[in-house]
Amino acid sequence: MERLLMNELEKWRAAKDRKPLVIMGARQVGKTYLLRQFAEANFKNYVYLNFDKEKNLNILFEDSINPSTIIPTLSLHTGQTISPGETLIIFDEVQECPNALNSLKYFNEEANEYHICVAGSLLGVKLLNTKGFPVGKVNIKYLYPFDFREFLLALGENKLCEVIEQISIQNAIPELIHNKLFELFKIYMIVGGLPEVLNTYKNDIYNWQAVRDKQEEILNTYKLDFAKHAPENQIMRISQVWDAIPNQLAKENKKFMYSVIRKGARAQEFEQAVQWLVEAELVSKVLNISTPKLPLKAYSNFQIFKLYMLDVGLFGAMNNLEPKILLQKNELLSEFKGTLTETYVAQELRIKRDLFYWTSEGKAEVDFVIEYDDKILPLEVKSGTSTKSKSLQVYKNKYNPELTIKTTGLNLKLDKNTLNVPLYALSKLDQILGTVDM
């Protein structure tokens, strides 16, 4: 299945100033598949090592992490010739072997003629406890769940994907095509963007039970990861935070509250658990701001935040949202107080930017606030075709932004200084904003 990150990998391969490449991302987003596909399409051969499946591989890096020693050792171990420019070296689940991770510094400094990619499902977690990580000596890319464009490509809807790629204020989408895109988008909201789930759907179209079974299987895998990889004193707390996310988002005020996990619970008990999930790429943290000034991060309150799961399909499965009922309703996206839609929006926006939301004295809340060029723009998520927003009006009256953004089930439209972006085109938000005169 085609991933848009492949273009970036091909640019990396050709770059003269490339460094060893680190692919970050949660488990089950397709890192291994992508690297194998990249290797088969661009190299004569590839050497693949998985440090989680083969624990004895660590021995290869015990005596030396110098490339002049590692290359012939890997060649003998795999029985393959490793040639500069012709062989891709892949270290998978590299967080299980800190010496292999640290060897990247020397590959960059002494053997940059070799192409080497590493990946790991819990790299973000393990890097905090890994001494000697080669800061500045690697290129880093992030792989996320399939976005809606990649979903279309996987289903063979290449022409519809092209429509989204070319979207702009000056290039309106015909209403008939918009309706078709939105119907497919509803399916995406159920299936989500994890490759195994998408494959399950492709192999048996409309078999929603098979989709949900696969999602449940992945959710169970994540729970097992908590027990296997998290600090022993944090395992239960991580599970409690993870299980509490649906209840947190079901509240009118979606701010994450430790007391929802357990009555009387305090931040100091669960802060590490929240951070573990963030670093494992399993959740997105959306920080609160009360004053929209640049840079937003400097004005954010790290103690007030919302948490969203990495994948909208998994979120639906965790909440037992019934696919057939959702598809039959025009207001599909308003289910669960619109949180399904917000989860999708957070999933899309996090690919390019940090996430923030705005509140005002408990009276108004704008779902997301983004930086674009030198501007701060409020973005409100509206379910289905509803476009009314009291909170957005409060924000407009208070700060008079150059543009306000709504993302809804309606077609792309600019009405005075309010831009409506269809939910299915949110991945092209920056491109669309570039066609708006502000």
Amino acid sitting at position 226: F
**Residue with structure tokens 């989204």?**
164
Domain ranges in the chain are: 6-142, 148-433
Closest CA to 327 of 340, 318, 314, 343: 340
Mean pLDDT, the chain, whole residue set: 92
Cα–Cα distance list, 337 to 313, 321, 340, 404 (Å): 16, 12, 8, 22
Q: What is the pLDDT of residues 76-109, one digit of tens each?
A: 999 999 999 999 999 999 988 989 999 999 999 9
Using pLDDT thresholds of 50, 70 and 90, give the confidence band for residue 334: low
Q: From CA 438, how far away is CA 423, in angstroms rounded?
A: 22
- At 200 the pLDDT is 97
Say whether pLDDT at 287 is over 70.
yes
Alpha helices for 103-207 (secondary structure H): 104-110, 123-127, 148-154, 158-165, 175-191, 195-203
Give SS3 for 55: helix
Q: From CA 368, how far away is CA 358, in angstroms rounded?
A: 7
* Better-scored residue on pLDDT, 108 or 247: 108
Kindly give, in sequence order, each residue whose CB lies less than 8 Å from that of residue 65, ignoring residues fewer than 6 positions away.
99, 100, 102, 103, 106
Kindly give, in sequence order, each residue whose CB lies less than 8 Å from that of residue 52, ignoring residues fewer than 6 positions away.
92, 93, 96
Q: What is the pLDDT of residues 203-239, one digit of tens each?
A: 999 899 999 999 999 999 999 999 988 999 999 999 9
Contact 121, 27 (CB under 8 A): yes
The tokens describing 379, both together, are: 């973005």
Length of the chain: 438
Give SS3 for 414: strand
Q: What is the pLDDT of residues 369-413, one digit of tens each?
A: 999 999 999 999 986 655 567 889 999 999 999 999 999 999 999
> What is the CATH class of 6-142?
alpha beta
- At 389 the pLDDT is 74
Q: Which of 156-160, 176-180, 319-323 has the lowest mean pLDDT?
A: 319-323
The tokens describing 142, both together, are: 């992030």
* Nearest-5° Cα angle at 23, 73 to 238: 110
**Residue with structure tokens 């935070």?**
241
Q: From CA 433, how far away is CA 401, in angstroms rounded?
A: 14
10 Å CB burial of residue 364 (0-12, 13-18, 19+) is middle
